[in-house]
Structures are given as structure tokens and as C-alpha cells.
Amino acid sequence: MNVYAAPVRDLRFVLEELLAHRSLSLPGFEEATPDLVEAVLEEAAKLAGDVWGPLNKIGDQQGSSATPTAA
């Protein structure tokens, strides 16, 4: 089974290069510094990889089915 690794580098690129941190100047984000955003991205990556990733083990092993189940 593959271990999930969040695309933190790609997200950082979008924020820093494409958006140039303009999203941080929106109302309500006055206290969101680039350092805080970096910390949030890193912690979200840990949560996704360590907690949510393993929850998909059955889906990774069995795959999906086109047969709908009865509700």
C-alpha cells in the first residue's frame, strides 16, 4: 500500500508564486502570516498522511464497484 504524502511543496508554490500571498490580504486573514500558513500546511500534511491516509486502506485494496448498494 502506498503512503499518502500531501503535496505541500505544490501548495506552497501556488501560495507564494502564483498568488503571491494575495489571499493573506483578504478581510479576515490579517493575522495569517506566511510563517503561520507554512505551519498550518505542515500540520495538515501530517494529519492527512498519518490519520486520513490509513483510513483508505480498504478502498486501496478493494477498489471501487460500479454496482450501487441499496439504501
Q: How does pLDDT run across 18-70, given as a tens digit for each residue? A: 887 677 778 888 888 888 888 999 999 999 888 888 877 777 777 777 776 66
Q: What is the pLDDT of residue 69?
A: 67
* DSSP H helices in 1-71: 8-13, 34-47, 53-55, 57-62
Interatomic CA distance for residues 32 and 37, integer angstroms: 6
pLDDT band for 71, please (50, 70, 90 cuts): low
Query: How many structural domains is the chain composed of?
Result: 1
For residue 23, tell me if it sits in a domain: yes
For residue 71, tell me if it sits in a domain: no
Domain coverage including residue 50? 8-59
Residue 70 C-alpha from the chain's centroid? 32
Using DSSP's 3-state secondary structure scheme, residue 4 falls into coil
Query: Is the Cβ–Cβ distance between 32 and 3 less than 8 Å?
Result: no
